[in-house]
Amino acid sequence: MQTHHNQPKNFLAEAIQNEIQQLGLDVPDKVIPELAAYARILWSWNDRLNITRHTEVRQFVQRDVTDTAAICPHIKTNERVLDVGTGGGVPGVLLAILRSDLTVELSDTSAKRITALKSILDEIGLSLTVHHKPAQQVVLDTNAQGCSFDTLVVRAVAPLQKLLTWFEPISSSYGRLLVIKGPRWEAEKQESRHRGFLKKVTARRIANWPIPDSDTESVLLEIKRRKNSR
């Protein structure tokens, strides 16, 4: 295991760093304290409001940090990103921590989750815009203001077919969707095609990585408007 001259001050940061090193994730040392602060506050909120199932260091790093780190290489510098149905802030808050160049905004329809999220962001000193409305409305409102999101990120929100029900009709209003999916992604894509949701957009796998402690993998789907689509 590597040794670091400036070891993180608290045990949680050290535990997170050890897990990140064991998995060989591309996460800079300087963001470890912020990841630890986020995890600690997220977990303390979880006692009052069930906003994450990953309440131990191992789960947090293996699932939440790993998934977010896997998205990072596929997002260009200075992109404007919207986290759809952010819940407790994954992957949006983690993306903002790992990639300070990005403009990350968060959306969720649950008032309780939004309240928790604003409190978490205040405590870790991260200034992100949080929208209490459906993401598709955020996209349209932003578009009406003369801006647009380069990328919408989605994890554990809905089956692909449902996501396309929401976002395919407005696919000219944003750059693309990046959707993290599990082993059923091919079946979901097939179902979406069968129901006619892949006429205006293409959906292709651009990355995959193993889910630790299982024989399955996560994939990253990129969904973009077809060039010839009206």
* Position 84 pLDDT exceeds 90: yes
pLDDT of 51 above 70:
no
20: in domain: no
Tracing tokens 């919408």 back to the chain, one arrives at 152
Among 78, 94, 98, smallest CA distance to 151 is for 78
The span from the CA of 46 to the CA of 112, in Å, is 12
By the 8 A CB rule, do 207 and 220 touch? yes
Residue 14 within any structural domain of the chain: no
Q: Burial-class residue 68 by CB neighbours within 10 Å (0-12, 13-18, 19+).
A: buried
Q: Of 7-16, 49-58, 125-134, which gets the smallest average pLDDT?
A: 49-58
- Which pTM value belongs to this model? 0.90
pLDDT at 50: 66
Model confidence over 128-144: pLDDT tens digits? 999 999 999 999 999 99
The tally of domains found in the chain comes to 1
pLDDT at 52: 65
Q: How many CB atoms lie within 10 A of CB 153?
A: 27
Could you give phi then psi for residue 60, rounded to 5 degrees? Answer: -60, -45
Name the residue range of residue 82's domain. 62-225
What pLDDT, on a 0 to 100 scale, did the predictor assign at position 8?
A: 44
Q: Is 142 helix (H, G, I), strand (E, B) or coil?
A: helix
Q: Is the pLDDT assigned to residue 14 strictly greater than 90?
A: yes
Please indicate, yes or no, if residue 74 is contained in any of the structural domains.
Answer: yes
* SS3 state of residue 208: strand
pLDDT in tens, 157-198: 888 999 999 999 999 999 999 999 988 899 999 999 999 989
10 belongs to a structural domain: no
pLDDT of 190-202, one tens digit each? 999 999 989 999 9
Average pLDDT over all residues of the chain: 89
In terms of pLDDT, which residue wins out, 230 or 179? 179
Share of the chain above pLDDT 70, in %: 92
Q: Is 66 within the bounds of a domain?
A: yes
Q: What is the mean pLDDT of residues 60-87?
A: 95
Tell me whether residue 34 is in a domain.
no
- At residue 125, the pLDDT reads 93
Q: Please report, as a single letter, which amino acid is at residue 84.
A: V
185 three-class SS: helix
Q: Is residue 111 part of a domain?
A: yes
Q: What is the pLDDT of residue 56?
A: 81
User: Residue 152: exposed, middle, or buried by beta-carbon count in 10 A (0-12, 13-18, 19+)?
Assistant: buried
Of residues 99 and 87, more confidence is placed in: 99
In a domain, 37, yes or no: no
For the cut 60, the answer to whether the pLDDT of residue 226 exceeds it is yes
At 121, the pLDDT band (50, 70, 90 cuts) reads: very high
CATH number at residue 85: 3.40.50.150
